[in-house]
Structure formats: C-alpha cells, structure tokens
Amino acid sequence: MDFDDQVILVTGASRGIGRAVALRFAEQGGTVVVHYASDHAAAEATLAALPGEGHRTAAADLADPDAVERLVADVVGTHGRVDVLVNNAGIFEEHPVLGTDYRQWRESWRRTLDTNLVGPANLIHEVVPQMVARGGGRIVNVSSRGAFRGEPEHTAYGASKAGLNSLGQSLAQELAPHGVYVTTVAPGFVETDMTTSHLDGPRGDAIRAQSPMGRTATAQEVARVVVFLAAPGAEAMTGAIVDVNGASYLRT
C-alpha cells in the first residue's frame, strides 16, 4: 500500500476531520500518530479504530511552541521519522468587531493565530529537517474556504487560514528542491463538532441548499483528498490549494 513503512503525524486526530484522516492513512498501510490536545479518551478511541499496528497517541497544545518542539522530539525519538505531517488541528471562533469586548477580541485573535497558523508553522519547522535528511516528505495543511473571501464575524479564523494558504505556497517553492511537497486542502462546511451550531436547523438547510450537491462534504471525503495529496504520484500538485466543497463556493 501507498504508506507502508511511513510515519504520519495527524494533528487534532481525536475527532472530526482529523480522525477520518488518521483512519484513511491507517487503511493505506501508514503508521499513524494520533495527535490530540487534551481529550485523551477520544484520542484512544481513534487509536482503537485504526487498522494495523504501531500507531500511537501523542498530546500537545499546538499554541505552545515548547509543546510543539517536545511533540516532534517525542515522535521522532520513538519512530525515528515523520514522513507525512497533516496540520489539521484548528479552532473556529466568532467575534463581531462591533459588540465584542476588546480583551475578548484580542485574546481570540491571539489564540486563533497561535493555533491555526503559528502552531502549524512551528511544527513544520521542527519536522522538515529530518524529512530533508531522509530525502523528502509530505505536508498537507487543512485550511478552509473561509480563507479566500472571509466571512462576517470570522475575521481571525479567515485571516489564520489565508495565512496558512500563503505558508503552504511559500514552503512548496522553498522545499520542492529538497523533495518535500506541500499542499493545502480547503474544505467548505463539513459536519463535525466545530460546525454543529451552523449546520443544525434552518441555517444548515440554507447551507446545504446552496450546494449543487444538496449536501455538505463528509469528513471522509476530505480525508480521501488529504491522503491522495500525500501519496506517491501527487508530487506535481505541490503548492496547490484544493477546494473540497461540492462546488458550493462557486455559487456564492
């Protein structure tokens, strides 16, 4: 299979899209590190669902640069390598500029950028040298359609994901000569814990109606694209930002 003997670090893999990505890599023969923030039981449940052997869980707050350094040292110390990094973990907060207390506003901005953009950049800094030393690797960042045109009340989230898009494009150019290929996946709405409040009720009906498919993408569909981009043969897609939203974005 495509990922035999490869070690794949998936952040935020205890639930949602990250969990689906972890499952898909394991189905393709990969050895998966199920990263999680703090929900140990959920991470263990993901781990138990993975086919194959050698997988493990690893906790770290990605907004903490020291924790990121320890995470990579721990994974490389145990497995000797990270072949694929999937920067999936993220947070989504809504704060209208009018009506949000200043302290809340700036804390949300700091938290969102630290988690969604600086954390992935720090992880990349830590994993890339050992990828280059072994002749290459793959990085897939999970962005959002919110990165392209923004959405009201999601200022920090949209900015963090636009930054992630740019990070991937810059790194693709810098790292291709070293055999490290970097791509970005930009899902539209996907039913996970992150979006329950959006997709329940009439608001969800409107979002689904906007899609030519009449539904949102599933976490499994996003996972298949992530795994495709990390697989042998997708090298020439380096630098790409791939929409996964059933063409709904084309209608807005």
Name the minimum Å distance from CB 20 to ligand NAD: 8
- Say if residues 219 and 191 touch (Cβ distance below 8 Å): yes
Q: Name the one range near ligand NAD by CB under 6 A: 12-20, 25-33, 121-129, 200-208.
A: 12-20
Strand 180-187 relative to strand 241-244, pairing: parallel
184 binds ligand NAD (CB under 6 A): no
- Give Rg (Cα) of the chain: 17
Least distance between ligand NAD and beta carbon 199 (Å): 8
195 part of the interface to ligand NAD, by CB under 6 A: yes
Nearer to ligand NAD, 17 or 167 (CB): 17
Question: Does 34 engage in binding with ligand NAD (CB under 6 A)?
Answer: no
The candidate with the shortest Cα–Cα distance to 120, out of 98, 146, 90, 96, is 90
Of 187, 227, 230, 241, the one binding ligand NAD by CB under 6 A: 187
Residues that are catalytic? 157
Considering the rule CB under 6 A, would residue 9 count as an interface residue with ligand NAD? no
Place of tokens 């290929």: 181
Instruction: Pick the closer one to ligand NAD by CB: 84 or 132.
Output: 84
Q: Note whether 102 and 95 are within 8 A (CB).
A: no
**Which of positions 56-115 make contact with ligand NAD (CB under 6 A)?**
61-63, 88-92, 115
Q: Shortest Cβ distance from residue 190 to ligand NAD (Å)? A: 4
Which range binds ligand NAD by CB under 6 A, 13-21, 78-86, 129-137, 171-179?
13-21
Complete edge-to-edge strand list for the sheet that includes strand 31-36: 56-59, 31-36, 7-10, 84-87, 137-142, 180-187, 241-244
Candidates 7, 22, 32, 37; binder of ligand NAD (CB under 6 A) is 37
Q: Where are the alpha helices (DSSP H) in the chain?
A: 16-27, 40-49, 65-79, 102-113, 119-133, 146-149, 155-175, 196-199, 201-210, 219-230
> Per-residue contact track with ligand NAD, 149 to 178, x per CB under 6 A?
------------------------------
CB-side neighbour CA atoms (13 Å) of 191:
12
How far does CA 108 lie from the centroid of its chain? 19
Residue 24: partners with Cβ closer than 8 Å, 6 or more residues away = 220, 223, 224, 226, 227
- Residues near ligand NAD (CB under 6 A): 12, 14-18, 36-37, 61-63, 88-92, 115, 142, 144, 187, 189-190, 192-195
